[in-house]
């Protein structure tokens, strides 16, 4: 309501207006603004969903798949749903993943071939060395006129050769290695001039445990060549195999001359370089590492005049694959 007084006549002019009529244009403008604002939000939401489905989601999926590839999962192909830049990026990613899988498969095959070649080369280093010593023992019997003993020695040698050289596999079992070792010790007794005590103590639960063939023979051979060369009244050799749960431990202990391991230089494969460690011992250590990785080890504990203990540790289950069959019907 508005009013004005006219001074000449003394009259007061009063004008009254309806608020609804006055505010009606503003209400129309407000309704129009709110409608436009709601339409803007609706269009924005629809465009965001379309943009996310078209661009953001494929890029996010690519990032997630790349993270899986970094963790070693190479079965993470992405679907190609468009022909734009995102689709081309997905195609390039899939092609890269296929190429990467082919390269990794080639590398694995190359490493396996190299592993087999190294194992065969290392095995070839042991076999001739062992055969020469065994034949020398048989020759000693022949020249001594001990024909029956020579025959038994030749039978032991035949059993050993049948179980090692005639079989290309690099894996045996602990039980078969013990049988081979018994034949080897019987050959060594022929030319050994001192009283000798040999003890085999093997847990039944580890007899089927897989192990590299000709693992124990070089260790025992080292004891005969180096450990028992001093002035001992009686030589003693003990071979034990123990079940340690997931691992099997095999120890070869002698009461020989021993040596000082503290002054020895370390070798490439974690051993020590001493006059007592011939080619065979280091060879065994290398084969254990190549076959079982960090789970396979060979440790030597020795002191001058106190003998030597060689401790071999391998996984109890061993490596899958065909096993060498050592055939000795007499044992």
- Cα–Cα distances (Å) from 130 to 13, 134, 149, 174, 280, in that order, read 136, 6, 19, 19, 9
CATH architecture of 106-315: 2-Layer Sandwich (3.30)
Report, as an integer, the average pLDDT of 43-54: 70
Strand order in the sheet with 297-302: 196-202, 235-243, 247-254, 308-315, 297-302
Joined together, the tokens standing for residue 120 give 């065969």
Strands 272-273 and 12-15: unpaired
- Predicted TM-score (pTM) of the model is 0.58
Residue 253 pLDDT: 93
Report the distance separating Cα 108 and Cα 91, nearest Å.
Answer: 26
* pLDDT range class, residue 324, cuts 50, 70, 90: very low
Query: First CA to last CA across the chain, in angstroms?
Result: 127
Q: Where are the domains of the chain?
A: 106-315
- Lowest-confidence range among 187-191, 247-251, 272-276, 283-287? 272-276
Long-range contacts, stretch 140-143, CB < 8 angstroms, 24+ apart: 140/190, 140/191, 141/190
Q: What are the distances in angstroms from CA 118 to CA 108, 264, 287, 316?
A: 15, 26, 8, 23
pLDDT at 38: 85
For the ranges 18-22, 102-106, 267-271, which has the lowest average pLDDT?
267-271
pLDDT value at residue 326: 43
Q: Per residue in 178-227, pLDDT tens?
A: 998 898 888 888 777 788 899 999 999 999 999 988 888 888 888 888 88
pLDDT of residue 68: 75
């Amino acid at each position: 309501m508005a009013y004005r007084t006219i001074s000449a006549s003394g009259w007061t002019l009063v004008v009254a207006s309806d608020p609804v009529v006055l505010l009606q244009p503003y209400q129309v403008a407000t309704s129009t603004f709110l409608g436009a604002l709601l339409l803007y939000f609706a269009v924005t939401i629809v465009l965001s969903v379309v943009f996310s489905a078209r661009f953001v989601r494929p890029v996010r999926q690519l990032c997630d798949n790349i993270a899986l590839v970094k963790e070693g999962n190479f079965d993470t192909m992405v679907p190609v749903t468009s022909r734009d830049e995102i689709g081309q990026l997905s195609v390039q990613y899939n092609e890269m993943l296929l190429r990467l899988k082919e390269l990794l498969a080639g590398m694995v095959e190359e490493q396996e071939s190299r592993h087999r070649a190294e194992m065969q080369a290392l095995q070839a280093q042991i076999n001739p060395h062992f055969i020469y010593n065994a034949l020398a023992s048989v020759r000693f019997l022949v020249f001594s006129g001990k024909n029956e003993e020579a025959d038994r020695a030749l039978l032991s040698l035949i059993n050993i050769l049948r179980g090692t050289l005639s079989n290309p596999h690099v894996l045996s079992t602990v039980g078969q290695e013990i049988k081979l070792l018994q034949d080897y010790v019987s050959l060594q007794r022929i030319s050994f001039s001192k009283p000798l005590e040999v003890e085999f103590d093997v847990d039944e639960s580890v007899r089927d445990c897989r192990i590299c063939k000709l693992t124990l023979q070089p260790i025992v051979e080292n004891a005969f060549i180096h450990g028992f060369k001093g002035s001992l009244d009686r030589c003693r050799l003990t071979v034990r195999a123990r079940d340690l749960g997931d691992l099997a431990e095999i120890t070869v202990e002698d009461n020989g001359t021993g040596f000082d391991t503290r002054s020895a230089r370390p070798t490439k494969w974690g051993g020590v370089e001493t006059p007592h460690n011939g080619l065979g011992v280091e060879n065994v250590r290398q084969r254990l590492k190549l076959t079982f990785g960090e789970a396979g080890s060979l440790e030597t504990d020795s002191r001058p005049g106190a003998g030597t203990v060689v401790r071999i540790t391998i996984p109890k289950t061993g490596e899958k694959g065909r096993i060498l069959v050592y055939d000795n019907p007499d044992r």
